């Protein structure tokens, strides 16, 4: 493990101090940002600062078509992805049309692909269902930019397709058969390219609202800001940019949405809170680790509609019922993930000298590919992908598990800083036309489908692509820190100061500090893989937790009396209304004092 420290930009540090940031916050930001942001932008990002989404190409054309469908009472299909972002996108569009635009819900259908048997995007199976329907307008959300062939089929059947998406657009450009393609990631877009799928759906719906009122078709429509809760959970879950100098749009939407969630503005949030084993406010981390995995679990194992039904539930009892299903599915997902991860790690350990960890588990489970690939990135420090036979792990109506299509494999990819993983797939595609049946994604995550017989050749080509795009970089596990925190700042006030900077995400992770402590106590908890410690720093006694420090039932990772070097995060433990500081260890090792 390589422990690295982000270096402070001294000029930026002085600028931040001059703007009124307290010293510890200015120090932290000067290690993270490329330009100064005001305390107001950081602590209170305003929805008023969100730029006009008219700057997104095709927005006006998409809005006019959607307004016509609403006014003429056309049948509409929302075609969405099966993850958290996709289901939240469906909730945004459904609620906007039904609750705000007064559209009869019987005119609307939601179509989601089955992750295991159909894969990502507007697949042929999805296109078949759409073509067989009597809908005249199809609105995609969180997918569609890479689906020209299927969109062409749908358009040829007499239906219009409006794509709303945020994934990177293929080199050949947006789908030409679509009526419109609203995607801020388009090369001809000047808008914030980091908005997630639900965010694009929300911005589009906001312009539809304005146009409906401008035309006098709906004289008065309440503000759509009540939908930012859906956008918030999707933005956190989809690992898009949250750095304050990079995407004020995302931070403003999350702040607004978290306020609604903590106000329990919907039955789904009431049910979530009732089942949450945590006191204190719901934060972006609560969303990332407790809500999003559960909502996405249904789509990982089977059809994703349970997540959508939970989000749009009209009563607490209905939301609680759907949450119980999601919680059960999530436990099953965890069990499957543990099994797949064990196999994937064993396979990846043999791939010494490779630029990427590519694992094929023929009878695997594509519902946990992405999660498992992320764990491989954490463990080995290099980009990773996990493949299995298409449909492997899917369940029949009787609950039997299918082996999948032995001739076709699908994989999920996760990247590291400095590598756009979709660019790596694009390079493989350009050098080997026809090798990839399909692929898509963005810088940090992607997916691909190919013939099983081509896997070994693909593995070599992908490793070469990574090597070229990273200048033959040598990968190893890394932990980045924000320097040391003085003993005087090792307190709950510091934890509160830093938590005020929430939301945290992929490009703006929680502050991580390096420190040296003496172990006073160390005892296991839970299944024996997690450990609770009491540490001494100078004269300060600090409680700490270290999750997944060992295998279940394993030996203690450190001994009482050890001097340890750590990378840790500040947190607040709330119990029966009482708050106290608790640090969370990310990495630690005993120091040899001999």
436-456 pLDDT per residue, tens: 998 888 888 899 999 999 999
Q: Are 341 and 318 in contact (CB under 8 A)?
A: no
Confidence label for 117 from pLDDT (cuts 50, 70 and 90):
low
Give the C-alpha separation, 171 to 150, whole Å: 17
Confidence label for 397 from pLDDT (cuts 50, 70 and 90):
very low
563-589 pLDDT, tens per residue? Answer: 999 999 999 888 878 889 999 999 999
What is the mean predicted confidence (pLDDT) over 125-138? 96
Taking 60 as the threshold, does the pLDDT of residue 400 lie above it?
no
Share of the chain above pLDDT 70, in %: 96
Confidence label for 402 from pLDDT (cuts 50, 70 and 90):
low
Structure-model confidence comparison of residues 575 and 148, the more confident one: 148
Q: What are the residues facing 413 on neighbouring strands?
A: 385, 446
Give the number of C-alpha atoms closer than 13 A to the C-alpha of residue 303, restricted to the C-beta side. 10
21-32 pLDDT, tens per residue? Answer: 999 999 999 999
What pLDDT was estimated at residue 346? 94
Tokens of 95: 């609620």
What pLDDT was estimated at residue 399? 52
What pLDDT was estimated at residue 364? 86
Taking 90 as the threshold, does the pLDDT of residue 303 lie above it?
no
- Using DSSP, state whether 569 is helix, strand or coil: strand
Which pTM was predicted? 0.86
Burial 326-352, CB ≥16 within 10 A → b, else e: beebbeebeebbeebbeebbebbeebe
Taking 70 as the threshold, does the pLDDT of residue 171 lie above it?
yes
Q: From 510, 81, 518, 16, select the one nearest 303 (Cα to Cα).
A: 81
Taking 50 as the threshold, does the pLDDT of residue 172 lie above it?
yes
Q: Which residue is associated with the tokens 């569009």?
A: 93
| Interacting residues of 413 by C-beta distance below 8 A, sequence separation 6+ | 373, 383, 384, 385, 421, 425, 441, 445, 446, 447, 448
Give the C-alpha separation, 498 to 515, whole Å: 17
Taking 80 as the threshold, does the pLDDT of residue 401 lie above it?
no
Structure-model confidence comparison of residues 171 and 414, the more confident one: 414
Q: Where are the alpha helices (DSSP H) in 381-451?
A: 421-431
Mean pLDDT estimate for the chain: 91
């Amino acid at each position: 493990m390589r422990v690295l420290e982000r270096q402070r930009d001294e000029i930026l540090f002085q600028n931040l101090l001059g703007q009124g940031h307290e010293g510890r916050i200015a120090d932290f930001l000067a290690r993270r940002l490329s330009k100064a942001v005001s305390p107001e932008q950081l602590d209170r990002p305003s929805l008023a600062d969100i730029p006009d989404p008219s700057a997104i190409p095709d927005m006006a054309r998409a809005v006019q078509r959607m307004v016509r469908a609403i006014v003429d009472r056309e049948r509409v299909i929302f075609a969405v992805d099966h993850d958290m972002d996709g289901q939240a996108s469906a909730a945004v569009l459904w609620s906007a049309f039904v609750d705000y635009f007064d559209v009869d819900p019987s005119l609307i259908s939601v179509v989601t692909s089955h992750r295991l048997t159909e894969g990502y995007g507007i697949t042929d199976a999805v296109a078949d269902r759409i073509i067989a329907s009597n809908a005249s307008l199809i609105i995609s959300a969180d997918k569609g930019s890479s689906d020209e062939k299927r969109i062409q089929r749908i358009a040829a059947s007499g239906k219009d397709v409006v794509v709303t998406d945020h994934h990177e657009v293929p080199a050949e450009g947006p789908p030409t058969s679509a009526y419109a393609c609203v995607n801020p990631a388009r090369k001809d877009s000047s808008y914030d390219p980091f908005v997630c799928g639900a965010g694009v759906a929300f911005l589009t719906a906001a312009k539809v609202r304005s146009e409906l009122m401008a035309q006098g078709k709906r004289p008065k429509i309440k503000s759509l800001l009540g939908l930012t809760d859906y956008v918030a959970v999707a933005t956190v879950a989809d690992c898009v940019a949250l750095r304050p100098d990079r995407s004020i749009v995302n931070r403003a939407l999350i702040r607004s949405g978290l306020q609604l969630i903590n106000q329990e503005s919907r039955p789904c949030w009431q049910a979530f809170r009732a089942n949450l084993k945590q006191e204190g406010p719901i934060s972006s981390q609560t969303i990332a680790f407790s809500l999003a995995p559960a909502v996405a679990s249904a789509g990982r194992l089977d059809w994703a509609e349970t997540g959508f039904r939970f989000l749009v539930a009209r009563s607490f009892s209905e939301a609680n019922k759907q949450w119980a299903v999601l919680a059960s599915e999530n436990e099953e997902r965890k069990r499957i993930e543990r099994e797949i991860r064990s196999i994937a790690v064993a396979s990846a350990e043999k791939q010494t000298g490779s630029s990427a960890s590519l694992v094929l588990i023929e009878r695997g489970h594509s519902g946990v590919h992405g999660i498992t690939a992320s764990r491989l990135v954490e463990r080995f420090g290099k980009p990773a992908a996990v493949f299995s036979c298409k449909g492997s792990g899917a369940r029949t109506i009787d609950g039997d598990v299918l082996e999948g299509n032995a001739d076709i494999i699908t994989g999920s990819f996760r990247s590291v800083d400095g590598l756009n993983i979709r660019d790596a797939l694009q390079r493989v595609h350009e050098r080997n036309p026809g090798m990839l049946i399909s692929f898509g994604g963005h810088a940090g995550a992607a997916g691909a489908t190919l013939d099983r017989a081509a896997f070994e050749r693909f593995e070599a080509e992908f490793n070469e692509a990574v090597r070229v795009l990273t200048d033959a970089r040598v990968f190893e596990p890394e932990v980045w820190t924000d320097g040391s925190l003085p003993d005087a700042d090792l307190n709950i006030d510091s934890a509160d100061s830093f938590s005020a900077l929430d939301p945290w995400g992929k490009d703006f992770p929680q502050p991580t500090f390096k420190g040296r402590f003496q172990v006073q106590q160390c005892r296991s908890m839970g299944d024996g893989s997690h450990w609770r410690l009491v540490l001494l720093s100078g004269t300060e006694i600090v409680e700490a937790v270290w999750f997944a420090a060992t295998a279940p039932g394993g030996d203690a990772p450190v001994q009482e009396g050890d001097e340890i070097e750590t990378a840790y995060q500040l947190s607040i433990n709330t119990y029966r209304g009482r708050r106290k500081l608790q640090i969370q260890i990310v990495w630690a090792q005993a120091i040899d004092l001999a």
